[in-house]
Amino acid sequence: MAQKQSVRKRRFAIRFELGLGGLAGLGIICFCIFLWMFLLGVWAGQTVLLPSGKGDTTKAFSRLSAKLWSQGQEAANSQKKAFEQRSAASKKKKAGQNGDEDEPSYFTLQVASYESEDDARQEVLDWQARGEEAFFFKPQQGSTLFRVFLGRFDTLAAANEKVDQLEEAENLQAFITLLPVAGND
């Protein structure tokens, strides 16, 4: 019997041999390609995403933000005037100038609203621990929120002063609310 010779198939293989200089050159070429792709991507992103043409885009954004700010100021001023009118109307009613007697009212600051009575109660206790007059009301018909209020003010100016103090000291946004005296205590 004849011995079978083992026949090995040779697989096709590719080998690269690089010296230290070749490896450094390949690294530099890859770096340049990636840098070019980055710069090309930044340029394409700016031309596609940002509006082209008329002037500097920062000027457009600053004009837009100034317009939005002025609209917000106008809305705040109109709210302030409405509160002042309500205050004047309530003072007239208190003085009996309208001929009918209505409930007296006061200004207060709404600082929070919660769906849970326990959360509202805890918020009131936190404000009272800071020395503030705080209280909350149960939700009225059609609402599910317990509203937390601070202070009682006779004038809108006093309420505005307190809002400014809270915004400065507590970094908190409060809303001035006109509440009737009877039925809420």
Of 91 and 53, the structure prediction assigns the larger pLDDT to: 91
Give pLDDT, residue 3. 62
Give pLDDT, residue 59. 66
Enter the pTM of the model: 0.44
Domains of the chain, by residue range, sit at 103-180
Give pLDDT, residue 185. 44
Statement: residue 136 has pLDDT above 80: yes
**With bands split at pLDDT 50, 70 and 90, how would you rate the model's confidence at 99?**
very low
Of 54-58, 106-110, 153-157, which range is least confident?
Answer: 54-58
| Displacement of CA 159 from its chain's centroid (Å) | 24
Per residue in 3-38, pLDDT tens?
666 666 778 888 888 899 999 999 999 999 999 989
Task: List the alpha helices (DSSP H) in the chain.
Answer: 20-49, 57-95, 117-129, 156-169
136 close to 146: Cβ distance less than 8 angstroms: yes
Statement: residue 158 has pLDDT above 80: yes
What is the third-level CATH fold of 103-180? Answer: Alpha-Beta Plaits (3.30.70)
CB atoms under 10 Å from CB of 146, counted, come to 21
Residue 51's contacts (CB-CB under 8 Å, 6 or more residues apart) are: 57, 60
Statement: residue 98 has pLDDT above 50: no
Rounded percentage of the chain residues whose pLDDT exceeds 90: 9
Of 5 and 162, the structure prediction assigns the larger pLDDT to: 162
Give pLDDT, residue 1. 53
